Amino acid sequence: MLEEVAIRSVQTGLFIGGKWRDSARTMPVHDPSTGQILCTVADADAAEAREALDAAVAAQPSWAATTPRERSTILMNAHRLLLDNTDRLALVMTLEMGKPLTEARGEIAYAAEFFRWFAEEAVRIDGGYMTAPGGGSRFVVTRQPVGPSLLITPWNFPMAMGTRKIGPAIAAGCTSVIKPAAQTPLSILALADILTEAGLPDGVVNVVTTSRPDEVISPLILDGRARKLSFTGSTAVGKHLLELCARTVMRTSMELGGNAPFLVFDDANLDDAVDGAMAAKMRNIGQACTAANRILVHSSVAEEFTRKLTQRMEALPVGRGTEDGVVVGPLIDEAAVAKVSTLVADAVGRGASVLTGGEPLDRPGNFYPATVLTGVPDDAEMCHNEIFGPVAAISTFDTEAEAIERANDTPYGLVAYVYTENLKRGLRVSEALETGMVGLNQGVVSNPAAPFGGVKESGLGREGGLTGIDEFLETKYIGVAM
- Which of 96, 103, 107, 255 is labelled catalytic? 255
d(CA 101, CA 86): 10
DSSP three-state, residue 360:
coil
d(CA 406, CA 329): 31
Tell me, yes or no, if 255 is annotated catalytic. yes
State the alpha helices, DSSP H only, in 353-422. Answer: 400-408
Buried b (16+ CB within 10 A) or exposed e, 343-368: bbebbbebebeebbbbebbeeebbbb
d(CA 433, CA 426): 11
* Residues contacting 307, CB < 8 A, separation 6+: none
456: left (phi over 0), alpha (psi -120 to 50) or beta: left
d(CA 151, CA 141): 27
d(CA 181, CA 210): 8
Query: Among 245, 282, 276, which residue's Cα sits nearest to residue 263?
Result: 276
Q: What are the E-state strand segments in 308-390?
A: 353-356, 371-374
CB neighbourhood size of 56 (10 A): 28
Q: Are 291 and 386 in contact (CB under 8 A)?
A: yes
Gyration radius (Cα) of the chain, Å: 23
DSSP three-state, residue 445:
coil
Query: Among 206, 171, 172, 210, which residue's Cα sits nearest to residue 191?
Result: 206
Length of the chain measured in residues? 482
Q: Which amino acids are annotated catalytic?
A: 255
